[in-house]
Amino acid sequence: MVKLTGARLARAMASKQFRDGKFHNTSGATADLEGPSGGVMWDFFFGRRKRVPKGPLPIVNPLDTWKTEPSSGLRLTWLGHSTLLVEIDGVRLLTDPVWCDRASPVSFAGPKRFHPVPVSIDRLPTLDAVVLSHDHYDHLCPSSIRALAQRRVPFVTSLGVGTRLEGFGVPRGDITELDWWEEHSIANGALKITATPAQHFSGRGLRDRNNTLWSSFVLSTSKRRVFYSADTGPTNELAEIAAKLGPFELIMIEIGAWHPSWGSIHLGPQRALEAFFQLGGGTLLPIHWGTFDLALHLWDEPPETLLALAKPSGAKIVTPMIGQAIEPSKVEGPNPWWRAVAT
């Protein structure tokens, strides 16, 4: 169980989100507003085949593309779930790195990934930072953290999560922890990382719920700004983020692992689209789907629903294949690659 002490505890106690020894959402929303019904639990345990693709997912090897600089200044490589390599005006970041086979505390059980990761960690290009949103298993993988720690990559994360990282071998000097609205510059000031509000929760066990903070992030240079939602539910704080730090050229936002029973702490496709407009629009790249069976919907339902809902609005959506490096300004619209996968 993670426990904050010393300077970390002092910083937590100074946060507006921290009281009674825990972090809280601004709205007061929790992960326990509605318990799952018997029908939901039956579907969760006995409906798995509906939620896992029968055929292999197409994977693109991005190594050749990574050898050249993006001509537009912005390139994204979706490596699965919420793991992205972000190249922005000469700076490279990795978000929520998960290379493990299961999003689980154990290696023999729990949600298993649908596809291999396109490249190994040792084949990644030089990174300026890793941005880590919170400590859930599908966002923080110990073996991935240990491998990145050996490369001495700086980590930028939410308040308290540094305790986890140190436990997985990251030197304290390589960790920067942020409260909401705090910022940190990297690459000699070329890029600013701002931790922004999210409506979610944290914890990796039964006794450490909300002992650490969760965040979304804004990545900004002198030329452009992009938004990374990580995990969040619907919140008016998204509009506040847009007002303070927008407009955004690209919005990477979660669409999967959603059900009404936990609708306060995840978006799902309909509310992801609403959140996209709250954030001011631009280009939407959906994340948090297509890698792990973490909910009750069909594995490809989130992108299909998103495209159907977005069509009347004309919202620009890009859906790269796993491992495909894209420059959003050069992509006209979505590629529904999942429709060719056996289900």
| Cα gap 134→185, rounded to integer Å | 20
DSSP states of 212-277:
S---EEEEE-SS-EEEE--S----THHHHHHHHH---SEEEEE-SS--GGGTTT--HHHHHHHHHH
| Cα gap 84→140, rounded to integer Å | 13
What are the residue ranges spanned by the domains of the chain? 60-325
What six digits make up the tokens of 66? 């990574």
Q: Are 294 and 103 in contact (CB under 8 A)?
A: yes
pLDDT at 66: 98
Q: pLDDT tens digits, residue range 185-207?
A: 999 999 999 999 999 999 999 88
Q: How confident is the model at residue 314 (pLDDT cuts 50, 70, 90)?
A: very high
Half-sphere exposure of 55 (CA within 13 A, CB side): 11
β-strand partners of 199: none
What six digits make up the tokens of 234? 């619907």
Amino acid at 10: A
Task: Tell me how long the chain is.
Answer: 343
What six digits make up the tokens of 217? 């992030």
Q: Are 23 and 11 in contact (CB under 8 A)?
A: no
Q: pLDDT tens digits, residue range 266-275?
A: 999 999 999 9
Q: How confident is the model at residue 258 (pLDDT cuts 50, 70, 90)?
A: confident
Please state which CATH number belongs to domain 60-325.
3.60.15.10
Q: Is the model's pTM score more than 0.85?
A: yes
Q: What is the dihedral of CA 62, 67, 73, 77, to 10 degrees?
A: 10
Q: How high is the mean pLDDT of the chain?
A: 93
List of residues 6+ apart from 189 with CB closer than 8 A = none
CA angle, 11 then 14 then 19, to 5°:
110
Q: Are 218 and 227 in contact (CB under 8 A)?
A: yes
pLDDT exceeds 60 at position 98: yes
| Cα gap 249→281, rounded to integer Å | 8
pLDDT at 190: 98
